[in-house]
Amino acid sequence: MSVTVLDPPAGRQGPGPIPQQLIDALDLAVSRLVARTLPGDRRAAGVGLGTELAQLRPYEIGDDVRHIEPSATARTGQPHVRLHVPERALTTWIVLDVSPSMAFGTARRLKADVAEGVALVFGRLGVRRAGSLGLVTFGAPTARVLAPRGSKPGIVALRRALAEGVARDGCRQPEALAHAVARTARLARQPGLVVAISDFRDQRTWERPLGSLRMRHSVVAVEISDPREAQLPAAGHLALVDPETGARIEVDTSRPRVRRRFAELERERRAQVARELRRLRVDHVALSTADDWLPALGRHLR
């Protein structure tokens, strides 16, 4: 069971208040974001219920008589029916990182807290207008999948999953993001919105699955980082341990050369991630634990 390996991280702050007005304001932005998958932009396969005309064709036995088009029938003298472009409710998939590295934060809150907030915002946006919400977590020994559910049940399930916290230290899965994205691509049959929330740290081979996911879906990549991961303070001699690998290192952070090189390498790494996301034409939202994440997210989406 995934419950046994997940823990609410120590020093958990929670995402903070998420005002309804902000959600309302973001709604528009998100619907614009996923407009490509709504009728008119990208058509779903086949025909179905909707408001937009797809085609007119002669009536066949079995067609709904309510869809008989009067004008066309009168002009041709043959019954015609009106078929519509299917309008399907939006399905939002949240791909959430629960690896041990998310339980880290040195500024206002943990990375896991920010991730929780972002998941809640997109969850609440996703269940609007009869949308449904699915969840795929990764980074823990057992991945968790919540089938898409609409409205309140979807939000409740998301909240419950978020409350479980993140994986305990010592769990290293460098290809978890790639697997989770591939799994989402298999699960999400209809075009929708996929929000990948991760620190994109120590993950590899995720580019190709994310690219193929992007072919069908609108994808938002939310990268969460901590200021200490970008720049080390001069704190003297430090003994540090990696929460995922357990690797231990002793380093003298008062040496400017080490700090400079660390900052350089980190900048390079993040630039690499940004470059890769841009290449895949994935919306890239970079959030920091030091800022107020909600306005930052809103600014980006608008």
Partner 1 sequence: MSFVSPVWLVALAVIPCMLAARLAARRRARRYAIRFTAVPTLRLAAQGRPSIWRRLPGALVLAALTAVVLALARPQLSDRVAVGEASMMLVTDHSGSMAAAERSADTFIHELPSTVRVGAIAFSSTPDAVQAPVSNHAAAQEVIDGQTAGGATATGDALQLALQLLDGGDAKHPPSAIVLLSDGAANAGVDVITVARQARQDRIPIETVALGTPGGVLANPDPLGAPLAVPPDPQLMAQIAQASGGRAFDAQTADQLSSIYERLGKRLGTVARRHDVTAAFAIVGVVLLALAAAGATRWSGRLP
Q: What is the contact surface with partner 1 in residues (CB under 8 A)? A: 101, 103-104, 169, 199, 201-202, 226, 228-229, 232, 236-245, 247-252, 254, 258-259, 261-262, 264-266, 269
C-alpha pair distances (Å), 291 with each of 15, 70, 107, 145, 194: 12, 59, 8, 30, 24
Minimum distance, C-beta of residue 81 to partner 1, in the bound complex (Å): 59
Pairing, β 48-58 against β 80-84: antiparallel
C-alpha pair distances (Å), 149 with each of 30, 49, 93, 186, 198: 19, 21, 10, 17, 22
Phi, psi of 174 (to 5 degrees): -70, -15
Using the minimum distance from each CB to partner 1, give the nearer residue, 18 or 251. Answer: 251
Using the minimum distance from each CB to partner 1, give the nearer residue, 154 or 243. Answer: 243
Q: Which residues of 64-92 are buried (b: 16+ CB within 10 A; e: fewer)?
A: eeeeebeebbeeeeeebbbbbbbebebbb
Distance CA 181, CA 194 (A): 9
C-alpha pair distances (Å), 44 with each of 41, 49, 50, 62: 10, 11, 11, 23
Minimum distance, C-beta of residue 176 to partner 1, in the bound complex (Å): 15
Sign of CA dihedral 30, 94, 288, 285: negative
Using the minimum distance from each CB to partner 1, give the nearer residue, 145 or 258. Answer: 258
Cβ contact 59:90 at 8 Å: no
Using the minimum distance from each CB to partner 1, give the nearer residue, 67 or 270. Answer: 270
Minimum distance, C-beta of residue 271 to partner 1, in the bound complex (Å): 13
Using the minimum distance from each CB to partner 1, give the nearer residue, 76 or 272. Answer: 272
Minimum distance, C-beta of residue 287 to partner 1, in the bound complex (Å): 15
Using the minimum distance from each CB to partner 1, give the nearer residue, 114 or 146. Answer: 114
Minimum distance, C-beta of residue 112 to partner 1, in the bound complex (Å): 12
Distance CA 206, CA 284 (A): 15
Minimum distance, C-beta of residue 228 to partner 1, in the bound complex (Å): 8
C-alpha pair distances (Å), 267 with each of 139, 201, 218, 262, 270: 24, 12, 27, 8, 5
Minimum distance, C-beta of residue 282 to partner 1, in the bound complex (Å): 23
Using the minimum distance from each CB to partner 1, give the nearer residue, 186 or 237. Answer: 237
Cβ contact 32:40 at 8 Å: no
Minimum distance, C-beta of residue 185 to partner 1, in the bound complex (Å): 27
Pairing, β 283-288 against β 48-58: unpaired
